[in-house]
Amino acid sequence: MASKLGRSIIKPQRPIRPKGQVKCDVHKQNEVVFLCQDCKMLICTKCSITLHKEHINSFLEISDIKTRHNQILQDFVNETENVNIPKLNQEIISSRTKMTSCKPMYDKLRKNIIDNNEKCKLELDKITEDYITLCDKMEVAAMDLIQTHITDLESRLKTLRELSSEYKQTLQTGTGVLVYDSASEIQEIDLGISPTPNIDMAQFTPGMDRLSHLKQALGNLKLTTDHLQAGSPTSGHSEQRPVVRPKQSTEAGQASTGEVRYKLRDRPTVMSQFPSPGYITSICPTSDGRAWLCNYVTNTVNLINNQVQVIQTVRHSSDIWDISVDPTTGRLWFCCWGDKTICEVSTSHKPVTRFTTDDDPDSLCVTREGRVVVGTRGRQVYKVWVYTVDGQVLHTDIVEGGVQSISQCGVTGNIAVVVYRKRIIVYNSTLQPLVNYQGEGIQARGEGIQIWGSVTPEQFDPRTVVYDSKGNIVIADQTRNTIELISGAGKYIKTLHTNKERQGPVGIQKGDVLWSNLELDTGEWVLKLLKYYSD
């Protein structure tokens, strides 16, 4: 029996005999007369000399234990009626009172946000107006400068034409003195043409970190707890569960998601393709169409565009094992296996160590709530951790292998991790497991479209996992060289792509553009940008 209300008070077990049934479940013609304490079962006399004869020393007659169990029931009734029910009633009254203050409080909060938003808009409009006025003035100045230059050129052109005509006449009829004087005059003429004036007197550079600056201007909205994150329907008492009667069977761990309508293309469309700049182990696309690329045996990370031009390079003193882009600030984070550090790249493009881990970090993901999810390996122990940005441990869970990849769902807030060459586990934000996926539903294929049958757990070899905007999960399988699509609840949807050669990591860009690193038949590694949803 349980000790406290609000917790699960009865451990679910397979029902042997219906509650209150006096007949034996095995020998249905006999009534139960003993309690087998070893098995915690009520049994009949025939059971006592057959199925349970080895437990005879643990038998108690039902009539002997009735008084003691009556007391247990009476204690429960007394505590329930005198303590627990009044407490629950009082808590309900308190919660209803608090609910009445909820709307006014959040109305005021919304008004403050909207008012400050309007102030920001007015100030931004004023800055824009000042910039436009300056542009107008610079345009007038540039036009005047060019017009003066054109007038000077036209005057010089007119003079040259007149001199040319005059000197032609001199050549035909002029005296020696006139020819001499004209030739002397030519030596004094400046025939050079002045260059066009530079009118690039103003330049506008768009802000590269607009979102964080705008949030700073608008103000900070602090959430004191995690219980209102997307996908979490619980109240602030996160450990409290409803008191329920145990059922015959329940299907736990199903992620509840709303209906999302989308249409898949027959096969992904290649938006672009370009050579891969070296070996890649992680891809993190940015919101502006570029991507950070990581190779875990080096101490550098490169930001490239879709022309394979390196826009920025970040270097560190230790090998960079995995990378993640903060979905709120757009800043790059990475973990270093060698010195056990978790780092953020500051606005000055320099890595700053935010905290260290006790075990070696293999992978990480920065969530939209400002949490850092890290997969680590210790001495024969592998764990998933949820940290604050300054390294405080919030949650942890032990897994059966190294964590190769981590991704957060933008729809539910759930977290998917790849456990090395075994499975994908989907957690909620507090690392309570919801889904354990091992390739169920995927069809194994041979040459062409020949189907061999369903993929077994031994054949499933995920390397990278990323969520798309629909809440579905894209998986790169490194043994079967495929890209799979499953739902957030762990249901197989479709094999998006099968590669003849090796399949590398994948990443998702805004708009569900899939960056895929793969090997061609020629042995060349490339990056392909794919679209698999129909717009």
Burial of 319 (0-12, 13-18, 19+ CB in 10 A): middle
Question: CA geometry: angle at 55 spanning 54 and 61, to 5°?
Answer: 135
Pairing of strands 433-437, 360-366: unpaired
Structure tokens at 265: 């293309």
Of 226, 173, 218, 522, which Cα lies nearest the Cα of 371? 226
pLDDT of residue 5: 40
Of 64, 23, 16, 63, which Cα lies nearest the Cα of 40? 16
Amino acid of residue 260: V
Burial of 231 (0-12, 13-18, 19+ CB in 10 A): middle
Alpha carbons 179 and 181: distance in angstroms, whole number: 6
Structure tokens at 395: 């949650």
User: What is the third-level CATH fold of 264-533?
Assistant: Neuraminidase (2.120.10)
Are 112 and 105 spatial neighbours (Cβ–Cβ below 8 Å)? no
**DSSP at 31:** B
Alpha carbons 471 and 414: distance in angstroms, whole number: 9
Q: φ and ψ at 130, to 5 degrees?
A: -65, -45
pLDDT of residue 182: 82
pTM attached to this predicted model:
0.54
Alpha carbons 445 and 451: distance in angstroms, whole number: 4
Of 221, 247, 229, which Cα lies nearest the Cα of 10? 247
What three-state secondary structure class fits 143? helix
Q: Give me the residue spans of the domains in the chain.
A: 34-98, 264-533
Alpha carbons 454 and 438: distance in angstroms, whole number: 11
- What DSSP letter does each residue of 69-111 carry, written as one string? HHHHHHHHHHHIIIIIHHHHHHHHHHHHHHHHHHHHHHHHHHH
pLDDT of residue 464: 95
pLDDT of residue 210: 67
Question: CA geometry: angle at 326 spanning 322 and 328, to 5°?
Answer: 170
Amino acid of residue 15: P
- Tell me which residue has tokens 């930001």: 303
Going residue by residue through the chain, which has 535 residues, state the pLDDT in tens, using 9 for 90 and above. 344 444 334 444 434 567 888 898 888 899 999 999 888 889 999 999 998 988 999 899 888 887 777 888 888 898 889 888 998 898 898 888 888 888 888 888 889 889 888 988 888 888 888 888 888 888 888 888 888 889 888 888 898 898 888 888 888 888 888 888 888 888 777 777 777 777 766 766 666 566 667 777 777 776 654 444 433 434 334 344 445 444 433 333 333 344 457 899 999 999 999 998 878 999 999 988 899 999 888 889 999 987 778 889 998 888 899 999 999 888 999 999 889 999 999 877 789 999 999 999 999 999 998 999 999 998 889 999 999 999 999 999 999 999 999 999 988 899 999 998 789 999 999 999 999 999 999 987 655 444 566 788 888 999 999 999 999 999 999 889 999 999 999 999 999 999 989 999 999 998 899 999 999 989 899 999 999 998 7
Backbone φ/ψ region at 85: left (φ over 0), alpha (ψ -120 to 50), beta: alpha
